[in-house]
Structure 1
């Protein structure tokens, strides 16, 4: 259960009915100071207008000792004294004088006290409900919250308010003024529609581990925020996390920013996480072979990308391992821009996912007619004419779990999906690039910090400069990514991680050099932190005994 209504009780007092003799015992039963109770009652009684009833305690659970105290109090009888005034009757002579207008009728009153043993009056227990979120902050941006009127204010609560809340019915009554103003013959003109449950595909255990990893990573890397999504091969969303996030059970504070579902609402340039798709398209079209004897020349400048001087020729494997921009552009030069556009479109970029439409940003993919040479080149490594949300990026990686095809994403367990799998790449090309992504998560690859002891892991790092005030920030403001899957053969989990502006990143050879942040030394570590815990509780995935040596300890 991710959200439910708790049945609670509230204590409603009628200050005009509560006897003063009971106030000390009532205060004791309510577990509040007597002075405070007397003050609240007096304040209500002094109001000239408005509701006289006083909700003195609320949100009481059915096991609260206060309820037992009040039940015991209602059994007690105390001597309750009331003071009244009684009009003194006139004698015969005085009445005659009044009738003859020889004497004024000035009534005289005398006070008297009437004491009886009575039970307490004016105390009622009323039923109340409160929305409760057992997973607290870990699911807040996804589930959202309800407002004071108990209506969905954000997230799932708002998107599916019409299902969760139900609808009131209408009962029509006829009015008969001749029969002492009574109502009769009730007719139901609109039936009551009770709210329905919604079952999500979220796995609470996986969600917990993903949230814990993101929270620790954002704190350690001093990032502005972090987000992640984990998918099953069939497109079911197992986890969707964002941090910072607020606890929706805490009503005293509210920060809208901490309920923002960045996985769906933010469109960003995904950086080098897109390089595998450039290689997949080129391999499918026969533009490359992706073999160990195929070498790509990286000594010549292409556009604004200059040779780095480290390499002269590189295999496709090494280009992906080192996340080499010039090598990737060299491959993209062999591709047609229309083919790239159509492939990216098939992968779902620039198209809505339809998960939570009210908050979803479907990203963008400009039509190839508007591209220049620089657009096609930068698109090959996740920049230029495209922006995506994190869920779209993770979905694209589902090709590695579905032999080149991509299913629609699913968040509601019982949702009927009309879209079918879309075949994007061939089975053979997908398997080959998956093998190369396995090499990325090795000591020689940029993703080595995502290695998990005993498991085959594949994935790709990514880094993108943040756009601030319309231009790329050159002072270190970056978004870092890692998108990966495990195990490499027949993946069970596909995870995408994003950190916004991390400022303190791990450097194993110089612990004081914490300023340079990339996907390799931030987001990749977050992936590992989450997946280690998820895999440790999943006995269905066999470990690889060959992969047991040379693993870095995570600093968080």
Structure 2
């Protein structure tokens, strides 16, 4: 080869080498400079993991700080199928399985065991194919964890969904106790089955008394968000705010210790204190169940409130459901106290009576001619229970005369009657802090017959809670109070964040009128009144019975089927509480189906126990030979 030819070839090779290096340099510049941000983001997506630190939901407590609802720690067990099929962890688990069957295993300390496992794993990797190692590892995982998870091996294999290769994350057990989760974690360490299972910390809502005040307390969904009752209404206070920790992990999902964690701590939810007294709530629940059983009814409610503050001390409805299991919630989730509407009957006669006394048109002693069991004027016909003749206004309430109530309403006039009716809160929601409350149905049709019927509690629909609020206005001196379920919002250290004050809606009647009404209603519970079975030994009770024929949803009424009720307060002169009892469609044949024979005695049982619970001083002489025994015997 001549020198010129050799020189050309060398020059050509150098040129190719320079071009190659230049291209490589250009590519590096492109990747490191031009596309640096894009690849940095991709790198971050692979190596950075943001893990949520769940905020603890606030507790619900009663007026005495008795726990009602709280969160308990739980765990979710999931499987990472990518790591399940990783050859490194798989050889470690097989080495562990093989060595723990050897006689020397129990003699080795943990450090020796780890060293032996690693050494044997390295040999296994050379002795078997990757496919065999993975298959044996999967079988080992299934056989090791099936029994602790409480399932047969075949079920665990199915839950792992091994045939779905693209699905890398599979939930094996959605709800584990904290203790079970710790035991399973210990098992993964003992058998060197590392990183295959993921233990996610969860929180589950737990109700201490799950069948008490269910409609009031409510529940949340699987995320912990409140969906009904107080859980929903106060969700923004109790939910808190989740924190997070940012971890840097390698390809095996192990923490990269070279980079520090970034942590934002969670803000835990606030605690909600209710006006409920769970001791009184237990009394209502027990006596309602006992009353429904005794008088063969399936639906009903008892509402008990503090008339001076509007605080709901207890409120029980049937049917009900268990907050922890939530069985039959679609069927039994309807709250009779706030959502059921019914014609109130004679408990509604307070409207005409209180309005007429308040306007100075009558006094409790004013006589009203109630005719003789039947009153007809024009197109209006009003029936009565007995031929009463002349009754005082007070006696109209005591005897529950329909004619008397209508004639008093006539003196008041249609316009003023409906003004008082609405002032007492009927036809409007009470604004209690519960979803789905009914406003009832109030219509001034201008029809004289309709007006006559409204006067004695027909052609109008109300909720039991509305009746309790109206009677509270008579009990407290004429003030309509907004019913209150929340007493305060508290921090976890007990510090008061917000206190809810009683809320006056309006002054309905004068204080003197309310006092006269209480005295008049006390005659209803007298020996000659319709509610003598509501008497409580040692106390004077004021109240009113109600009995109405049930409405037929298809029109008209259901003959022989009734809604019975009693609305009362005790002690009559200075009431400490107002209690409303309503039973729907009692089928008993042991007594006549009236408010005075069914709802009134239930009231007496409740009032006797509540008075003892509240420590009320007797206002009347006690007869040692008489005592009012509750239907349900429970010690508190």
TM-score normalised by length of structure 1: 0.78
Q: 1:40 aligns with which of 143, 156, 176?
A: 156
**Equivalent-residue separation in structure 1 for 2:241 and 2:183 (angstroms):** 37
**Equivalent-residue separation in structure 2 for 1:47 and 1:21 (angstroms):** 18
Query: CA 1:486–1:377 in 2, change beyond 3 Å: closer, same or farther?
Result: same
Report 1:173-184 matches (<5 A).
none
Deviation readout 1:33-89 (Å, 9 max, x if unpaired): 6xx1454135525332435444347331x4x4x456446545646xxxxxxxxxxxx
Partners of 1:265 and 1:361 within 8 A in 2 = yes
Q: Which residue of 2 aligns with 1:364?
A: 441
Q: Which residue of 1 aligns with 2:470?
A: 396
Q: Which residue of 1 aligns with 2:614?
A: 538
Partners of 2:402 and 2:456 within 8 A in 1 = yes
Q: Which residue of 1 aligns with 2:451?
A: 376
Partners of 1:215 and 1:244 within 8 A in 2 = no
**Equivalent-residue separation in structure 2 for 1:491 and 1:123 (angstroms):** 62
Query: CA 1:168–1:307 in 2, change beyond 3 Å: closer, same or farther?
Result: closer
Partners of 1:454 and 1:548 within 8 A in 2 = no
**Equivalent-residue separation in structure 1 for 2:164 and 2:535 (angstroms):** 71
Report 1:433-512 matches (<5 A).
433-504=517-588, 506-507=590-591
Partners of 2:479 and 2:504 within 8 A in 1 = no
Q: CA deviation at 1:273?
A: 0.5
**Does the residue aligned with 2:595 lie in a helix, a strand or coil?**
coil
Query: CA 1:365–1:169 in 2, change beyond 3 Å: closer, same or farther?
Result: farther
Partners of 1:11 and 1:125 within 8 A in 2 = yes
Larger Rg over CA atoms:
2
More helix by share: 2
Query: CA 1:439–1:38 in 2, change beyond 3 Å: closer, same or farther?
Result: same
Gapped regions of structure 2 (runs ≥ 5):
1-66, 85-89, 94-136, 248-255, 489-498
Q: CA deviation at 1:486?
A: 0.9
**Equivalent-residue separation in structure 2 for 1:2 and 1:213 (angstroms):** 21
Q: Which residue of 2 aligns with 1:93?
A: none
Query: CA 1:551–1:328 in 2, change beyond 3 Å: closer, same or farther?
Result: farther
Q: CA deviation at 1:405?
A: 2.2
Query: CA 1:45–1:388 in 2, change beyond 3 Å: closer, same or farther?
Result: closer
**Equivalent-residue separation in structure 1 for 2:458 and 2:355 (angstroms):** 17
Q: CA deviation at 1:519?
A: 1.1
Q: Which residue of 2 aligns with 1:198?
A: 272
**Equivalent-residue separation in structure 2 for 1:298 and 1:409 (angstroms):** 40
**Does the residue aligned with 2:596 lie in a helix, a strand or coil?**
coil
Q: CA deviation at 1:377?
A: 2.0
Q: Which residue of 1 aligns with 2:417?
A: 340
Q: Which residue of 2 aligns with 1:296?
A: 369
**Equivalent-residue separation in structure 2 for 1:47 and 1:222 (angstroms):** 57
**Does the residue aligned with 2:453 lie in a helix, a strand or coil?**
helix
Q: CA deviation at 1:484?
A: 0.5
Deviation readout 1:437-459 (Å, 9 max, x if unpaired): 22212332211222222222221
Q: CA deviation at 1:494?
A: 0.5
**Equivalent-residue separation in structure 2 for 1:193 and 1:74 (angstroms):** 32
Deviation readout 1:2-36 (Å, 9 max, x if unpaired): 222111234445573675557666455x2636xx1
Partners of 1:451 and 1:551 within 8 A in 2 = no
Q: Which residue of 2 aligns with 1:330?
A: 407
**Does the residue aligned with 2:382 lie in a helix, a strand or coil?**
coil
Q: Which residue of 1 aligns with 2:31?
A: none
Q: 2:601 aligns with which of 525, 543, 546?
A: 525
**Does the residue aligned with 1:463 lie in a helix, a strand or coil?**
strand
Q: Does structure 1 residue 432 correspond to structure 2 residue 528?
A: no
